[in-house]
Amino acid sequence: MNTLKRAAIGLFCLLLLVGSIILAVWIVRPQWLQLKPDEKVEADHEPEPIKPVEPSKPVIVKTRAEELLSEMSLEDKIGQIFFIRCPLDEELESVMELQPGGVILFGRDLNGKTSQEVIDKNALLQSMSKLPLLIGVDEEGGIVNRVSWNPALVPTPFPSPQALYNEGGLAEVSQDAKTKSSYLLALGINVNLAPVADVTDNPEDYMYPRTVGLDSEGTAAYVAAVVDAMNEMQIGSCLKHFPGYGSNIDTHEDIAVDERAKEVFYNQDFIPFKTGIDHQAPAILVAHNIVTCFDELPASLSPTIHELLRNELNFQGVIMSDDLSMQAIRKFTDEKEPSVEAFLAGNDLLIITDFKAGAAAMKQAVDEGKVSEERLNESVLRILNWKLSLNLMD
């Protein structure tokens, strides 16, 4: 009897404990237990809606050349596309106020001068320019030397390409290009309008003495050696005379007509130029010859020739015209100012004697809409990039 009583009391206590637990759970039950079937829990704070991720915009970084261009006036841009004959002292101020892109020194600027006089003159020219000038010269060696004919500037004249090659091959050519560049740089000259990339092995040709006198492959190797050496010395080179001079007469004196077939140019004349381009030649000068297989215009005034150079030979550097004051152009244009026509053909840099007339014609062409400022900007950017590559902006 006592045993049953104890069991009943134990069961009662167990039921009491379980009931207490159930009551406690009901009192502190979680909020979800109180939800009705379709109810949702309300958050303490309304959650932020998820925003779609916007694609990042490209970061456009202006190059140094673009920054310089953006700060230039229209007149300054026009000035940059001219590579002018160095003005005489009495004309210096009126010419330099038009801010040319570069100045070319000729014999009259160097004959009888001391090294210090040339250095001082070039420093003066640079001081008169808002942007550093290209200061150029024709120092090919042999019959076309401007600097080394003056023993006060260089002890002995630089030999011709043929003499160099015959003496020591490409090694001698390369060493000569470095020595020549060091003399020019010391005088404040930063561009040498060389090497001659024309192919001819005929001593009777007008251009022959200025060439290396080899076939297209030999000439290409010569061009590569000179361009590499000049790039190493950080002086501007210029391949000339595109599309290849051949056996044409002197365009300083008269109109030259080249009637060779296209195949000759592709299989011969273009090869040294393409090699120079592959070796990072920064500039190419276009001749005044009328090449009838491409155009009836002088090459320097021919859009076809310039498109060929850009698109087929893939040259992206500075294209410059030969001197627009030469008789080949003067006679072809009946003495009309040729700068606008030459620029629209595709030249970036115009070699010219009468800078004032050229700049005035270009300004008028821009004002009248014949030349767009966008087209002008393209050429000025190439010129600025060349100057930057020569460290002229430092």
As a whole-number percent, the residues of the chain with pLDDT over 70 amount to 84
How high does pLDDT run on average in the chain? 89
* Residues annotated catalytic, as ranges: 252, 322
Is CATH 3.20.20.300 what the domain over 80-389 is classified as, yes or no? yes
CA 91, CA 275: separation in Å to the nearest integer?
41
Residue 390 has pLDDT above 50, yes or no: yes
Residue 93 has pLDDT above 50, yes or no: yes
Residue 263 has pLDDT above 60, yes or no: yes
Residues 101 and 78 sit within 8 Å (Cβ to Cβ)? no
Residue 349 has pLDDT above 80, yes or no: yes
pTM of the predicted model as reported, rounded to 2 decimal places:
0.84
Residue 17 has pLDDT above 80, yes or no: no
pLDDT of residue 16: 54
Residue 104 has pLDDT above 70, yes or no: yes
- Tell me the average pLDDT across 130-157: 97
| Nearest CA-CA partner of 246 in 218, 206, 195 | 206
CA 98, CA 394: separation in Å to the nearest integer?
23
pLDDT of residue 19: 54
Cα angle 189, 192, 195; round to 5: 165
* End-to-end Cα separation, the chain, in angstroms: 116
CA 194, CA 281: separation in Å to the nearest integer?
10
Domain spans, the chain: 2-33, 80-389
* Long-range Cβ contact pairs of 300-304 (< 8 A, separation 24 or more): 300/324, 300/329, 300/342, 300/345, 300/347, 301/329, 301/332, 301/338, 301/341, 301/342, 301/345, 302/345, 303/344, 303/345, 303/346
Residue 203 has pLDDT above 90, yes or no: yes
* Of 2-6, 278-282, 335-339, highest mean pLDDT: 278-282
50 pLDDT band, cuts 50/70/90, is very low
5 pLDDT band, cuts 50/70/90, is low
Q: pLDDT tens-digit profile of 354-387?
A: 999 999 999 999 999 999 999 999 999 999 999 9
Q: pLDDT tens-digit profile of 299-310?
A: 999 999 999 999
Distances (CA, A) of 79 to 52, 86, 93, 133, 158: 51, 14, 14, 11, 33
Residue 31 has pLDDT above 50, yes or no: no
Q: pLDDT tens-digit profile of 64-76?
A: 999 999 999 999 9
62 pLDDT band, cuts 50/70/90, is confident
